[in-house]
């Protein structure tokens, strides 16, 4: 059975909040639309709050690598799904390499243990 520590939960929440905030930047139209702009501000505040909690027990380099790598992959997929942005073969390969790096850090690295 998979057991998630509080740090993993906090890091996951930070990643999800950052993805929502970053994806909402497009919908905010240069921060000119109030609702999407509010989502951006709340999302980033939430992301940094939960990242700060994760950093209590996860080394900053490891946490940031996972946070940014997973965020890049998820924002790219959100851009494709929500905004019809195209992902060409080199882009897909790059996304796969980033995802592989995040998985290696999570599954095999002892830096956070």
Q: What is the pLDDT of residues 17-54, one digit of tens each?
A: 999 999 999 899 999 999 999 999 999 999 999 999 99
Structural domain that includes position 51: 6-108
Q: Would you state the pLDDT for residue 111? A: 66
**Is 1 among the domain residues?**
no
What would the pLDDT profile of 72-110 be if each residue is shown by its tens digit?
A: 999 999 999 999 999 999 999 999 999 999 888 878 877
Q: Domain count of the chain? A: 1
The answer to whether residue 67 scores a pLDDT higher than 60 is yes
φ/ψ bin of 30: left (φ > 0), alpha (ψ from -120 to 50), beta (otherwise): left
State the burial class of residue 96 (Cβ atoms within 10 Å of its Cβ: 0-12, 13-18, 19+): exposed
**Is 55 among the domain residues?**
yes
Q: Would you state the pLDDT for residue 112? A: 54
**Is 36 among the domain residues?**
yes
**Is 77 among the domain residues?**
yes
Q: CB–CB of 39/80 below 8 Å?
A: no
Within 8 A by CB and 6+ apart from 58, the residues are 7, 11, 112
**Is 46 among the domain residues?**
yes
pTM, two decimals, is: 0.86
**Is 113 among the domain residues?**
no
**Is 68 among the domain residues?**
yes
């Amino acid at each position: 059975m998979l057991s998630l520590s509080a740090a993993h939960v906090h890091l996951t929440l930070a990643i999800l909040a950052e993805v929502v905030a970053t994806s909402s930047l497009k919908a905010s139209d240069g921060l000119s639309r109030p609702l999407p702009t509010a989502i951006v501000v709340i999302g980033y505040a939430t992301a940094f709050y939960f990242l700060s909690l994760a950093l209590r027990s996860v080394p900053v380099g490891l946490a940031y690598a996972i946070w940014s790598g997973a965020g890049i992959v998820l924002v790219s997929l959100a851009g494709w799904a929500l905004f019809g942005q195209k992902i060409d073969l080199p882009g897909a390969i790059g996304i796969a390499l980033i995802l592989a790096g995040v998985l290696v850090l999570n599954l095999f690295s002892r830096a956070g243990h």
